[in-house]
Amino acid sequence: MDPDTSLLLDQLASGLLDLRRKLCTETYLVSSERSDATEHAKVALSALVNLRRILRRAYRRSALDKGAAPAADGALEFGKDEVPAISHGPSPAEWRSVHEELKNTDNLWRSLAFDGVQSDGCGGLLEYRRCPDCNSTLGRRISRQEALELCQNSAEVNARSLEALASTPPVTQRRKAFRT
């Protein structure tokens, strides 16, 4: 993605976060208006994150169309100015702000890489996900039922993957089969 576009999206995201915080404290809004306004700002931020993903996908497709070769893991090598789909600045305050937004926005939270479930040490459970920008592990509370469903879905995906691995011969055996 063009660095200027990326910077503009970062500025919009930062402005939306500031607006959402300001709306939470505005005294001229009644409680229901304040709640509606902050929810709209939250949805706008989510839409902005989705827009960034769309633009990154288009950039990736364009780079592939122009002959860029993906790395062994399928990722493209982007320039130093390229910003991840969800990004935050270098300061601890910016990290905290974006990480809290990720934890508090359900559709953003579910889009993050799943990193497991652990006990909170007090009888509750924490679900862990990974920040795509800094690879920090983020955690938020999860009910036992939600944790069970999440882990079952993960186990099913892993079982299908293991089945595919078990049913596929090693590369050297496949090559020999094609030569005969």
Amino acid 77: pLDDT? 47
Residue 94 has pLDDT above 50, yes or no: yes
Query: What is the tens place of the pLDDT at every residue in 40-70?
Result: 777 777 777 777 777 777 776 776 666 655 5
Query: What is the tens place of the pLDDT at every residue in 138-176?
Result: 999 999 999 999 999 889 988 998 988 888 887 765 555
Q: What is the mean pLDDT of the chain?
A: 76
Amino acid 127: pLDDT? 94
Most confident of 46-55, 88-97, 124-133: 124-133
Distances in Å between the alpha carbon of 66 and those of 46, 56, 95, 144, 149?
A: 30, 15, 35, 48, 42
Residue 117 has pLDDT above 90, yes or no: yes
The one-letter code for the residue type at 20 is: R
Q: Can you tell me the mean pLDDT for 98-121? A: 88
In whole angstroms, give the CA distance from residue 1 to residue 46: 19
